[in-house]
Chain A
Amino acid sequence: MSEILLQIDGKKVTAKEGMTILEAARSVGVSIPTLCDHEKLAPYGACRVCTVEADARGTTNLVAACLQPVENDLVVRTRSEKVDKIRKVLLEQMLAHAPDSEELQELAQVYGADKDRFEAESSFCILCGLCVRYCAEVKKKHAVGFFDRGAKREIDFIPEVAIRECWDCKECFPLCPTSALQAAYVLTEALMSPPASSTKGCNSCG
């Protein structure tokens, strides 16, 4: 793998080909905020709070640091007036869903986001997809998934799978930056009959 030389917030950084800007930044101790990033999961690029400014070949672009590969001579600014403004609005939009999320509130402080700027939304979920991706990529169970598209997109447990898998796992719960996941599970649980014995399958069919 060849080495790539770039600049992040004025620091000269040596990175490996194939690395993302986020990885390169972390390697030199520059922190970029993220919400949907997770060390065990493939980069996803949904929350976009990792948006940074990058100059390459004479043009400046806004890119998601978690997905954008490094390239030679790239000049990255992880904070700028523009970047901060975008992060502020993104956080405000998510706070309309999850005003009590600690993770969001911490970032809101940094970027001056007002949690009441937008009218409260009925769903708490910010669709970071951590639960869905963790269940699919790490546990390979697909017990929770995305449904519908556009403004109606939501996460939900698939009862047939959840009844078998979730009771003893629940590893996705702590990943959730809001209380939405647990709520969705509780609802699913209410809909399915509680498993008689969680570790064994149904007696009659083995």
Chain B
Amino acid sequence: MPRINSSAELDALRQEILSQRDPDQPCLTLCSGSACHATGCGKVAAAIEEEMESQGVADDVHFRRTGCHGFCEQGPIVVIYPEGICYLKVKPEDIAEIISETIKEKKIIERLLYVDPNSGENTTLEEDIPFYKNQERLVLGFNLKIDPKSLEDYLAVGGYQALVKTLFEMTPEQVVGEVKDANLRGRGGAGFPSGVKWDFARKAPGDKKYVVVNCDEGDPGAYMDRSLMEGNPYGVLEGLMIGAYAIGSNEGYVYVRQEYPLAVDNLEIAIKKAEDYGLLGQDILGSGFDFTVKVHRGAGAFICGEETSLLKSLEGLPGEPNARPPFPATKGLWGKPTNINNVETWSNIPLIISKGADFFNSIGTEKSKGTKIFSLVGKVNNTGLVEVPMGATLRDIIYKIGGGVPGEKKFKAVQTGGPSGGCIPENLLDTKVDFDELTQAGAMMGSGGMIVMDEDTCLVDLARYFLAFLSDESCGKCNPCREGIRQMLKILTNITKGLGTESDLELLLELAETTKGASLCALGKTAPNPVLSTLRYFKDEYEAHIKEQRCPALSCKALIAFYIEPDKCKACGACFKQCPAEAIEGGKKRIHVIDQDKCTRCGSCVDACPKAFGAVKVMSGEPVPVAIAEEARNLG
């Protein structure tokens, strides 16, 4: 691989790569992110290679393994270009047919197409699938176009143009100015203006400075950063180099959590390739700019995502937050000025430099510009990664992209912002995705977690779940966070067990105020959010638990009971067979009865009872009727 010594040489290489690629040549792509690895894309890939060979198309068809497409519950996903035909949930045994029918004969295989769960209609092209159609994939879009192991692919889609522009046409001040003008705000949680932060680091005295990528991504269920790092590590690195040039740094670190082996692999390959081409190292493209980057694997503690903890962890110290000030921009890694940004923030930089601040400002709301990637999960038909322009409403994301709530269930709330985010109720679904609007609604943007909940979710229990997470994952150093969460968690646990008292709600607010006001870092300052937002919008649920011993969602085990309605039971025995606690008295032609003392409230009987009978009733807040008399149990 020849070292590239100038921007002209880079252009020549790009032209050479493009000249060897025929846009009309059939290209078959397979998504190979971590999620699809889990659903078996490795075997599908092997089958594709084998079939291409045996059906004699290996020379005419290009096969590319790309990063995550985002529609993970439908993976592995195969897309056939130039048409863009999209096949979902592809299995190795489908491949022979895909090649013989679709590649060779241009025939569509109906059974592999996307089926709309509501209308039952098929969609052939990827771009027409509602999940994709309603997104704006400015950042994530590269994941579909490149093989993360191929720097050439990145060059072919315009990669490193922003770096060339930066190094040869812009001063560091101009780069900072452009990012400031773009109004880019950090995607890692707090939404701090990135340009302003860069300016602090640039102006901070010191000749040694660092740039850092935060890929700790500790929010349970979130994988935006993982997918970007796995799918397009070049984009992250290009952004990082531009930032380094802007603040005057020659050394960067990427902090990736240990649990992301594929991200680490792809990143290391990308670094190696960039080094070989001279796109990392000394005198990059003959510009005089030197830059090296190292990968650090984090042990995977949630608190290590907090920037001051992350920097300590990079230094080999325990990951505990430091008070700010001093901010990392003035005193960061090894005491030197350091600029740390989230993976998605860095990924936006090449776009801003190439297309300009005006372009970036044309997308979004007044104070939140550009797009945001969310990890949409929970009770929603289409789960996966979605990228939308800022200003999109939660309703659009959940219904247009997510396809709404599955089954006959009713939507209840959407939780955004990770473990210390908040819940937003149905009547606020027109809230826009915007840093400030979400915060006003009692939730937050966070790094992009979005969990949809239906009527079966108990929001008191949800708040309890998040506080339990935070109680385990805080560093434990400061009193308001550690002890405040401990006490709030105890109260919530009691309420879900029906042991709450009326003064508990006041006490929760008082504890929340202390934890929010006095904690050292943002974990503690935001930890009460799950409690505060559910109390704000779903106070009636708390009250039902406390005053009526009733869980409206019929979910808190201590407050529910299962009861077989005698007039509906047909003595089919289905529940009797399923009950793991042997709590059901059955018998041939005998109305079944649940022994309330033995019942563990697992709910197996509800699922087992045939829909047509619907004899098992879930009850809460009312006494279970006395069991039917023995002599009345005989049926017919």
Contact = CB atoms under 8 A, between A and B. Distances in A.
B460 to A, nearest CB: 20
B483 interface: yes
Interface string B465-490: 00000111111111110111111011
B510 interface: yes
Contact of A64 (B323, B472, B483, B485): B323
Contacts of B282: none
Interface string A56-88: 000000101001110000000000001001100
Contacts of A68: 323
Interface in B511-542: 511, 513-514, 517-520
Given A96-B487, A152-B476, 8 more contacts: A46-B478, A48-B478, A68-B323, A82-B517, A85-B514, A127-B477, A149-B475, A150-B474
Nearest to B472: A150
A90 interface: yes
Given A67-B323, A118-B487, A51 B517 contact: yes
B479 A150 contact: no
Nearest to A128: B479
14 contacts: A46-B479, A48-B478, A64-B323, A67-B323, A85-B514, A86-B514, A93-B486, A146-B476, A148-B476, A149-B301, A149-B472, A151-B472, A153-B475, A153-B477
Contacts of B483: 90, 93-94, 96
B325 interface: yes
Contacts of B490: 119
Contacts, number: 96
Interface residues of A, number: 31
A64 to B, nearest CB: 7
A45 interface: yes
B303 interface: yes
Contacts of A149: 301, 303, 472-476
Contacts of B518: 48, 51, 62, 64, 86, 90
Contacts of B471: 150-151
Contacts of B472: 149-152
A126 interface: yes
B325 A150 contact: no
Given A89-B510, A149-B301, A149-B474, A94 B479 contact: yes
Interface centre among A46, A89, A96, A118 (most CB of B within 10 A): A89
A103 B261 CA distance: 50
A69 B478 CA distance: 19
Given A46-B478, A151-B471, A93 B519 contact: no
Given A62-B517, A86-B517, A151 B482 contact: yes
Interface of A: 45-49, 51, 62, 64, 67-69, 82, 85-86, 89-90, 93-94, 96, 118-119, 126-127, 129, 146, 148-153
Given A48-B520, A149-B473, A152-B476, A127 B514 contact: no
Nearest to B510: A89
Contact of B486 (A45, A48, A126, A151): A151
Given A51-B518, A151-B486, A86 B478 contact: no
A29 B511 CA distance: 31
A76 to B, nearest CB: 15
A193 B489 CA distance: 40
Given A48-B519, A150-B472, A90 B323 contact: no
A150 B523 CA distance: 11
Interface centre among B472, B479, B484 (most CB of A within 10 A): B479
Interface centre among B303, B470, B473, B478 (most CB of A within 10 A): B478
The 8 closest A-B pairs by CB, nearest first: A153-B476, A93-B483, A67-B323, A89-B514, A48-B518, A62-B517, A151-B471, A150-B472
A48 B480 contact: yes
B284 to A, nearest CB: 38
Contacts of A49: 479
B514 A151 contact: no
Contacts of A96: 483, 487
Given A86-B518, A118-B487, A93 B479 contact: yes
A2 B252 CA distance: 34
